[in-house]
Structure formats: structure tokens, C-alpha cells
């Protein structure tokens, strides 16, 4: 039995209360409990986190890099979704 038999986990760390969990990296572990402990030792040795999520890498569905352009294209031609699109007379406040 080798390490390869241990599945890969993605680690997400909340650095402090009020912030969302952010992807920190990945690691191998035999089960979720070990993955959590390993993640603590690997990614929070200096108090970098107050909460950890571990997710089996195989459970993640990702968008395909091949379809990157058509997939995200619909957002590209809609500048009116940004506040800077609108012209407001000078002097108008709180807008």
C-alpha cells in the first residue's frame, strides 16, 4: 500500500472570522478526519486559520479551460452591469 491509495483533498481555510474560506492547497489523507488534521498541521502552523474545510478533490466539478472563452463571454459585452457605465452630473452626492 502506498500513498497514492490515499485520496487527494482540497483544503480551504478561513483566515479570520468575517472572511470566507479560501483555497489554501491540497494534500493526501486516508479519510476526512485525517485530512482535517493534516490540513491543520500543513496550512495553519502560524495561526493562519480559524476554520478549515476539506473536500475530496474528486467531488469538485470545474469549468473546462477549452470552453473558457465562450463560457465567460456573456459577461464581456454587458458593461451596463458596472456602476462606471452611467454618467451622473457632477455635484450629485451619495450616488
Partner 1 sequence: MATAAAQKTDHTAPYDGDGTAATAGYERAFDAAVAADERIEPRDWMPDAYRATLVRQIAQHAHSEIIGMQPEANWITRAPSLRRKAILMAKVQDEAGHGLYLYSAAETLGTGRDELLDKLHSGRQKYSSIFNYPTLTWADVGAIGWLVDGAAITNQVPLCRCSYGPYARAMVRICKEESFHQRQGYELLLALSRGTPEQHAMAQDAVDRWWWPSLMMFGPPDDESQHSAQSMAWKIKRHSNDELRQRFVDICVPQAESLGLTLPDPDLKWNEEQGHYDFGAIDWTEFWEVLKGNGPCNEQRITQRRRAHEEGAWVREAAAAYAAKHSETGATRA
Size of the site for partner 1 (CB under 8 A): 27
Which of these ranges, 13-21, 29-37, 73-81, 86-94, lies near partner 1 under the rule CB under 8 A?
29-37
Contacting residue, 17, 45, 78, 82, with partner 1 by CB under 8 A: 45
- Cell 457605465 identifies what position? 85
Does residue 65 interact with partner 1 by CB under 8 A?
A: yes
CB nearer to partner 1: give 4 or 84.
Answer: 4
Residue ranges binding partner 1 (CB under 8 A): 1-8, 25-28, 30-31, 34, 41-42, 45-46, 57-58, 60-62, 64-66
Amino acid at each position: 500500500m502506498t500513498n497514492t491509495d490515499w485520496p487527494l483533498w482540497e483544503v480551504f481555510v478561513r483566515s479570520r472570522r468575517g472572511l470566507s474560506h479560501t483555497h489554501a492547497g491540497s494534500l493526501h489523507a486516508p479519510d476526512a478526519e485525517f485530512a482535517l488534521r493534516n490540513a491543520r498541521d500543513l496550512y495553519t502552523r502560524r495561526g493562519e486559520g480559524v476554520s478549515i474545510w476539506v473536500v475530496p478533490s474528486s467531488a469538485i466539478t470545474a469549468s473546462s479551460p477549452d470552453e473558457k472563452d465562450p463560457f465567460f463571454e456573456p459577461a464581456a459585452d454587458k458593461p451596463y452591469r458596472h456602476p462606471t457605465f452611467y454618467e451622473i452630473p457632477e455635484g450629485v452626492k451619495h450616488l
